[in-house]
Amino acid sequence: MDQVRRIIPVVFLIVFIVAVQLATKYTGTPFYLTQLTMSAYYSLVVVGLCVLMGYAGQISIGHAGFFAIGGYISAALTTHNLLELKDNAFVSLLNKYGVLVLREDLYGETLLTVHPWYACLLAIMTAVIIAFVIGGPVLKLKGHYLAMATLGFGIIIYQIVMATEYFGEADGISEVPSFNILPGIELGGGFEIRVVNYYIAWGLVVFGIIILQNLIHSRVGRALRSIHGSEEAANAMGIHTSRYKLYTFVLSAAFAAIAGVFLTHYNGSIGPSEAGVMKSVRYVAIVAVGGMAHLWGALIMSVILNFLSLRGVFGTYDDAVFGAILIVIMLFAPEGILGLGIFQKLKKIMSGGVSGKTPELQESKTGQKQV
């Protein structure tokens, strides 16, 4: 029964994704797909952060840094020309085993760069390793100390990309190539592949949601909720709290890096603003609006707010709006919009039990279910 309840909202999401694409086609508004695709990638960051904050109880104001690590490394590796180094032993070895690829840039110049697939994998692996390395010591902190530490990490990444010529400094990196993620399926921002890329982005979101739902309803999910409730009590029950917190942190960082990689190749560029502090604040604000432990609420609010932002609805007050949203939610709806009375029924339908007050959580609180 629980499995059915978890599948229903996923089916609704898939139907909604298809319905939106068809609606844009028959209303002559396919240009909306560009913003919806970008919103999907940002939503991937948000749902990963939702699990970290809402279930493991660990705040992060540095997830834009992991997004930037994924995007920048993939962009740099696929745009920097290694043709002058082709006689180098290491470069020759990489070329021999197909890691490098010859291509032409927009001006017809021949480039020797890392194959996009290898660049993407290396970018994601780098983000995961960094998350693992910094997560150990950082996650020993609590409260505002943890928030400041993750904020410091985000600032470091921002300053690195701003000051490093290899990463384009203030200009960022442009002319990032598109590539085939599967035969006949190209990841890129071309008009003729707009619909394909819309489904690529939302397919990733659906896959991510399924992974996180299974995680939340597993033994690991119950352990995370017990850590969120009381880390000391969880330790007393024999739960390896530091390990669970670290693994969740790394998983959420991987989600951010994947989103950064795919969005960078979709846009064909990436700039320092993607690593900015306000980007991280925005992700936290969206999670707060949707509800710290409401996966579906975070996803819904992410799509709505990111779409409006990308359409320019907030204008030059974009960052101010997200800051104001965070303040208002913390003051008047700390459990998120789905925690308000008028949304209770919708929450029950859409969450399929994935919320901060799930039966599993109630059982873990009463000690009727072992973790």
pLDDT at residue number 219: 87
Residue 187 reports pLDDT greater than 50: yes
Model confidence band, residue 189 (pLDDT cutoffs 50, 70, 90): confident
278-301 average pLDDT score? 90
25, two tokens: 């086609």
Model confidence band, residue 341 (pLDDT cutoffs 50, 70, 90): low
Residue 343 reports pLDDT greater than 90: no
270-277 average pLDDT score? 93
E strand or H helix at 129, and its extent? helix 116-138
- Which tops the pLDDT comparison, 71 or 228? 71
Residue 364 reports pLDDT greater than 70: no
Residue 297 reports pLDDT greater than 80: yes
How far from 245 is each of 19, 103, 135, 225, 236, CA to CA, in Å?
Answer: 38, 43, 8, 11, 16
Model confidence band, residue 346 (pLDDT cutoffs 50, 70, 90): low
pLDDT at residue number 348: 58
Model confidence band, residue 225 (pLDDT cutoffs 50, 70, 90): confident
pLDDT at residue number 55: 87
Residue 356 reports pLDDT greater than 50: no
DSSP class per residue in 81-119: --GGGTTSHHHHHHHHTTSEEEEE-TTS-EEEEE-HHHH
Amino acid at residue number 32: Y
Model confidence band, residue 357 (pLDDT cutoffs 50, 70, 90): very low
Among the listed residues 211, 272, 241, 246, the one whose alpha carbon sits nearest the alpha carbon of residue 130: 246
132-148 average pLDDT score? 91
The mean pLDDT of the chain is 87
Amino acid at residue number 162: M
306-332 average pLDDT score? 88
Residue 66 reports pLDDT greater than 90: yes
Among the listed residues 158, 178, 181, the one whose alpha carbon sits nearest the alpha carbon of residue 170: 158
pTM of the model: 0.88
Residue 202 reports pLDDT greater than 90: yes
Angle at 332 between CA 329 and CA 333, to 5 degrees: 60
Q: How far apart are CA 364 and CA 353, in angstroms?
A: 14
The listed range with the strongest mean pLDDT (202-206, 323-327, 338-342) is: 202-206
Model confidence band, residue 39 (pLDDT cutoffs 50, 70, 90): very high
Contacts of 135 (CB under 8 A, 6+ apart): 245, 246, 249, 250, 253
Contacts of 179 (CB under 8 A, 6+ apart): 78, 115, 116, 117, 186, 187, 188, 265
Q: Kindly report which listed range (111-115, 130-134, 140-144, 206-210) carries the lowest average pLDDT score.
A: 140-144
pLDDT at residue number 126: 97
Among the listed residues 162, 197, 154, the one whose alpha carbon sits nearest the alpha carbon of residue 283: 154
* pLDDT above 90: percentage of residues in the chain: 57
pLDDT at residue number 342: 47
Model confidence band, residue 361 (pLDDT cutoffs 50, 70, 90): very low
